[in-house]
Structure 1
Amino acid sequence: MEKLPIDALWEKYIHYAHLNSAFDDRIGILDGKSSAILLFSEHKNKYYRNEVSVNFLSDLIEQINFNRLFSLGYGLTGVGILIDYLVERGVLDESSIDIFSDVELNISKFLANTGITDISLASGLSGYGIYFLKRLKREKYNTQSYNLYLNQLDSIYNTLEKCILSKDGDSYDISLWYGRSGCLLFISELAKIPQFSKRCETTCDHLRAGILESLADSRFSWDKMQAFFVMYQTDRLNSLQTELNVFFGEFIVSASTKLSELGIANGALYSLFVAILIETKGTYFAEHFLSSIYDGIMLLLKNRSPKELFPYDNQAKAIPIGIDGGMSAVLLSLWSIDSKRYLWLNFFGFFFEEAKILVTNEG
C-alpha cells in the first residue's frame, strides 16, 4: 500500500481547513469546529498542534451558551470530551478540565429534566454515557466526584436498558453514530466497571443478537460495516468469531468497488476500520481490498483540489469538516492507517489500549 505523503497532502488540506472553518457556527465533533480542533491537534507541526488547535478551542468556548445542543455529536458533551482528550495529548494542562465544570453541571441538569430516550451515540444517552464514563475513569475510587459520576451512569444505563429491551428497541438502525452499534459500544465499556458487569449482560446479548440478525443479510451497506467493526471490537471473548468472519469476507469483497457509493469520508473510515481489523484480528487476506479503496481516495486527494472535494457552505460559514462526512474523517483516518495510531477513536468510546502518542517538536 502506498505510503501516505503526510507533508504534502496534510499541509495542502490542513491549510484549507484552517482558512475555512474558523467561523463555523457548528461546534460538534460530527459536523463542526470540534472536529477541526481534533484534526489540528493531531498534526505533527507544533504550530497547528499547540497554537491553532488552542486558538480554535478558545473561540469555541466563547460560542458556548446553554441554548446549544448538549449531545456528544453536535454539542457540549462532545466539547467536554475534546477538552479531556487534549489534556491527555499534552496540548492542554490538567487545569483546563476545570473550565468545563459549569457546562458539566448543566449537562447533568439537562439529563435529569428532559427524560431523553434517544439511545444513540451522536445525540442520545450512549453519547452522554461515554462522557461520564471517561470522567469516571479520571477519578480515584470512592471520591465524591467518582460517586457522582457512578450515579449519573446508573441513571443513564437504567433508561437505556428500558429503551433497548422495549418493543421499540429494535427500531433503531445498526449504525455507529445513530443506532444500536454505538449503544453496544458504550454498554460494553460500561460493563468493565464492576458495579455494572452483571447488569449489562442481558442488554449486550440482546443488542448483539439483533445486530447479528441484521448482518445476516450480506448485502453491503455503510451501516453494516460500522456495526460489524463494533461487534468485532466488543467481542472480547471471541465468542462470535465464526459468524463475524463469514460476514467480513462478504463485506470486504462487496465494498472494495464502492468508493463512489461510500463517498470519500466514509470510504476513509471504512479503510481505517479494515486496517485495524487486519492488525488486531490477523485478517491479512483483506489487504488487497483495503488497498483498492485507500488508493482510490489517495488519487482523489492528489488529483482534485480541496475546494472541489470539500466546497464551502455559505450557510454554515465553513467547509464540511466533521467526522460524519467531512474532511477530518478523511485526514484522520488516512493518518491512522499510516501511523497505526488510533487514540483519536477513543473520543467515541472505543478505548483502544495503546500507549500515549509521543508529541514531537517538529515544525
Structure 2
Amino acid sequence: MLEAIASILAQTRSVDQIIIWDDGSEDGTEDAVAQIEDRRVQYFAATNAGKSAALNRAMQHATGDYIWICDDDDVLVEDAAETLAGVLDTEASIGIVGGSYTRFSDGRDGRQRTGPGYWPDLSAGPPLRHLLEDIFLFQNAMLVRRSCYDRVGPFREDLHRSIDYDMIVRLATRFPVHMVEKQVFLQRKHDGLRGPAAQRHAASHVENVWAKQDAEVFLGLRTHVPLSLLRAMYDGNPETVSRAACLQRGAAYARHGLWDEAMSDFEAGVEAAPETPLAETELSICRRAVSGKHGVTPPPEALARLSLLRRGSVAGRDLAGGLGRGLLWSIRRAASERDLRETLRLLGLLRRTGLRLQSASGGAREVGPSLRERSQIPAAAYDW
C-alpha cells in the first residue's frame, strides 16, 4: 500500500486530494497511513462492506472535478496524472481518458515485468466496441470527470467481482473514451488466494472466476448497450447498419457466454436484411464472437437456433460461416496448447456452423454491401 501511495505523491502533476478508504482491514493500514505527513491524504476507516460500498462512500468525500481510482497494491507511473489530466484539460468533449499498463511481480530475483495480457487492436474500431468484447482498461489507467460518475450512478454493491468492468461499460456507453498510447501504471500479479474473504479462489483459477462474473455483469448491462449507440459505430446503408449493430451486440454477449441473448441479437440482425450477403465488416464481427479469451461454449439450444438461421436465408448462412471462421482461431489455440479434448469439441462445433462461405449455387460467396466501422462514435449518439 505504501508504495502505491508513494507513487501518487510523486506525480509530476500534483494530485489535490488523496482519499484512503479502509474497508475494515486488519493489516495495520491505519498505522501505516499515520506515517505519511501530507495534508492531501485523508484517511477514513469503516466496517467491511465490500469494494463497491467503499468506493461509493469514498466518492462522497471527493471534491475534485477529476476522479482517479487506484488499487492499494499497484504502482503509478510518475507522469500518469500529467498525461491523463492533460487530455481532459484540453478536450471538453471527452469524459474518460485511459492508458496502457504493464504487469509485474516481485520475487527473489527482483521485480519481473510482463505485458498487459489481453490488449485489443485499438487502431480498428472505437474503444467502446473493444470494451464490450473484453475488459482491457482498468481504473488505475483511467481519469474520469466527476460529472460522468454522477450521471451513470453508483457502483453496483451486489457484485463481488468485475465491479470495474460494470462501471467502465456504463461510463463508455454514455461518454466518449479517449486512449493515449502511453503506459500509466504497473499492475501487481499475485500467486496466492484472491478475491473477497468469503469467495477466495486460487490465482490459477482466475480466468474461470472472472468469466462467470463478467457474464453476470453483462446480464445487468443489457439496457445499457442500446442498438442506437451501436448503429453509430457504422457507416453504410440503413439496413446493413442496423444488422451490424445487432451482430455486434450479439458478438459481445457470445464472448461472455450469454448465448440466449447473443442468438436473439443474431436473429434480429438477420431479419433486418435476410437476403443481403454480410459485408466483410459484419463477417469480422461474427469471427470475433467465437474467438474470445474465455473460450466457446454455445449450448445445444443455441446451435439449434443457429442451424435454423443457416438454412433460412443468405444472411443466416453467412452468419454461420463467419462464426465458423472464428472457431478456426479457437481450434488453432487449443491445438497449440495440445488440448486434444478441446480441439475435438471445437471441431464438432465447427461442423455444425457451416464453415464454407458459398452461394446457394455452389459458387463463390456473393460480395456483401459496403460497410465501414468508424474509429469514433459521433457525440450525439451518446444521448440515448
Q: Report the TM-score, using the length of structure 2 for normalisation.
A: 0.29
Q: Between the two structures, name the one with larger relative contact order (CA 8 Å, sep ≥ 6).
A: 1
Structure number with the higher strand fraction is 2
Larger radius of gyration: 2
